Amino acid sequence: MDDDSTLAWASRVKPQELDVRPFHPTTLPMLRKVAMIGVPMDLGGGRRGVDMGPSAMRIAGLEEGVRRMGLEFEDRGNIAVPQLESRVPRDPKARFQEEIARCCRRLRSRVERILEDGAFPLVIGGDHSIAVGTVAAISSHHHRRKEKVGLLWFDAHGDMNTPQSSPTGNIHGMPCAMCMGRGPEELTHLGERYPMVDVGNVAIVGVRDLDANERAEIRAAGVQVFTMREIDLLGMTEVLRRALAIVNLGTVGFHLSFDLDGTDPSVAPGVGTPVAGGTNFRESHLVMEQAHETGRLLGLEVTELNPILDERNKTAEAAVQLVLSAMGKRIL
Ligand SMILES: [Mn+2]
C-alpha cells in the first residue's frame, strides 16, 4: 500500500469493537463430510500449469488425509474447463471473461449442491478466478436462508483489480473485487445476492504485491487489508483476531479463499505468481487453525497451485496439510 501509515489503515476498526465472541447464532451443521471439487482453471492467469493443481492435490494424499481424521470424503471430480490453447481472448481488459463466467456458473451449482447435501465444500484450483463461482454459491445458499456470509481472503496480492485498473487483463487479479460487486456484471451478478458479500465483511490477509491502480481500487472499495507489514507489527494472532471479527460480524459464518501464494515461496514454491516475503509455515497453518476454531467456516478453497514450478510436489503436500488444519487437525 502507499506510504501513508498502513498500520493506521489496518487499525481503522478498533480492537475493542472486534470482540470475536458474541457472534450471531449459527445454524451450521457439524462438519462430518468433506466434498471436493477440482477446477482445472488457468484462463484467469498469465502462465500455464495451475490447471494441474487438482491432480497434484489428489496425488499428495488429500482424500487419505481427510479420512484419517475420521471425516467422510467424497471426490466429486473436476469441472470442465476449456483448454487455453483452443481459445482466443475477446477482451484484452478482461481476458476469457465469457469462458470464466461459464465455468463459475457451473461451479456455483456444484457447490450449492454440496451445501444442500449438508457437506463441506472444498474447492481446489485452478487460478483464483474460480472464487467468483465458489463465493456466489455460498452467498446464494445462505441468502435464501436470509443469512449473510463473510469472506476471508488470504493472498500475496489484493485481487482487487477491475478491468479498468488491471495492467494485464488477467481475471485472477480481480475476483476479490468481483465478490464485493466491483467489476463486469457477468461475474459480479453470478449469485442470487448482489453484492455476494458486503465489503464490511471482507478481510484480505497476507498482501505484499499490489498494482499501481489497484491501491486506489482498494481505497475506493474501503475493504480491510492486512498486509505483511501488519502481520510483522501485530503478529498473525492479532491480525487473525481482527480479520475473523470482520468476516463474522452479523454473518452466519465465512468462506476462506486461500491463495497458496500468500505463503512464502520457501514453503510453497509451486504457485502461479510467487512473491518473496510471505507468511511462514506456522503462520499459514494458524490461518487455517483459527478459521476452524471459530466453528463458522462455510467453505474452503485452495488456489494457484502450479505443479510445473513445484519441487517434487512439495507445495501440494504442504497444501494438503493446510487443508487438514482447516478441517480441525490438531498438533496435540
Ligand atoms: Mn489470488
What is the torsional sign of CA 242, 329, 303, 75?
A: negative
Question: Which pLDDT score, from 0 to 100, does residue 31 have?
Answer: 75
Q: What is the per-residue pLDDT for 22?
A: 41
Find the 31 Cα to ligand 1 centroid distance in Å.
26
Percent of the chain at pLDDT exceeding 70: 91
pLDDT value at 16 more than 70? no
Residue 25 CA to ligand 1 center (angstroms) comes to 31
**pLDDT band for position 232 (50/70/90)?**
very high
- Which whole number is the average pLDDT over 18-45? 74
CATH-assigned architecture of domain 6-326: 3-Layer(aba) Sandwich (3.40)
Q: List residues with catalytic annotation.
A: 128, 155, 157, 159, 172, 259, 261, 304
Distance of CA 275 to CAs 31, 41, 170, 263, Å?
34, 21, 17, 9
Q: What is the pLDDT of residue 84?
A: 83
Which pTM was predicted?
A: 0.93
Whether pLDDT at 88 is above 90: no
pLDDT at residue 27 above 90?
Answer: no
* Whole-angstrom distance, CA of residue 331 vs CA of residue 313: 23
Give me the residue label for grid cell 468481483.
Answer: 178
CA gap 139, 108 in Å, rounded: 10
What phi and psi values does residue 152 have, to the nearest 5 degrees?
-105, 120
Q: Is the pLDDT of residue 15 over 90?
A: no
CA of 332 to the centre of ligand 1 (A): 31
Name the residue among 162, 112, 157, 158 with its Cα closest to residue 134.
112
pLDDT of 86 strictly over 90:
no
pLDDT band at 260 (very low <50, low <70, confident <90, very high): very high
Cα of 157 from ligand 1 centre, angstroms: 6
pLDDT beyond 80 at 50:
yes
Q: What is the spatial distance between Cα 31 and Cα 118, in angstroms, rounded to a whole number?
A: 9
128 C-alpha to ligand 1 centroid (Å): 5
Please name the residue ranges forming H helices in 79-211. 97-116, 131-143, 175-179, 185-188
> What per-residue confidence (pLDDT) applies to 307?
97
**Cα dist from 295 to 34, 283, 290, whole Å:** 15, 19, 9
Confidence at 28, pLDDT banded by 50, 70, 90:
low
158 CA → ligand 1 middle, Å: 7
Q: What is the mean pLDDT of the chain?
A: 92
Q: Where are the beta strands (DSSP E) in the chain?
A: 33-39, 72-78, 120-125, 149-154, 202-207, 224-227, 253-259, 297-303
Is residue 30's pLDDT more than 80? no
**Distance between CA atoms of residues 190 and 103, nearest Å:** 11
Question: What whole-number distance in Å separates Cα of residue 117 and Cα of residue 248?
Answer: 23
Average pLDDT over residues 177-185: 98
Residue 47 CA to ligand 1 centre (angstroms) = 14
Distance (angstroms) between ligand 1 centre and the Cα of 67 equals 28
- 308's CB contacts (< 8 A; 6+ apart) are 48, 49, 52, 270
Task: Output the CA torsion sign for 162, 18, 135, 159.
Answer: positive
CA–chain centroid gap for 309, Å, is 21
| Model confidence pLDDT, tens digit, residues 127-168 | 999 999 999 999 999 999 999 999 999 999 999 999 999 999
pLDDT tens by residue, 305-330? 999 999 999 999 999 999 999 999 98
* Confidence (pLDDT) at 29: 59
pLDDT at 18 over 60: no
Candidates 3, 6, 2, 4; CA nearest to 229 is 6
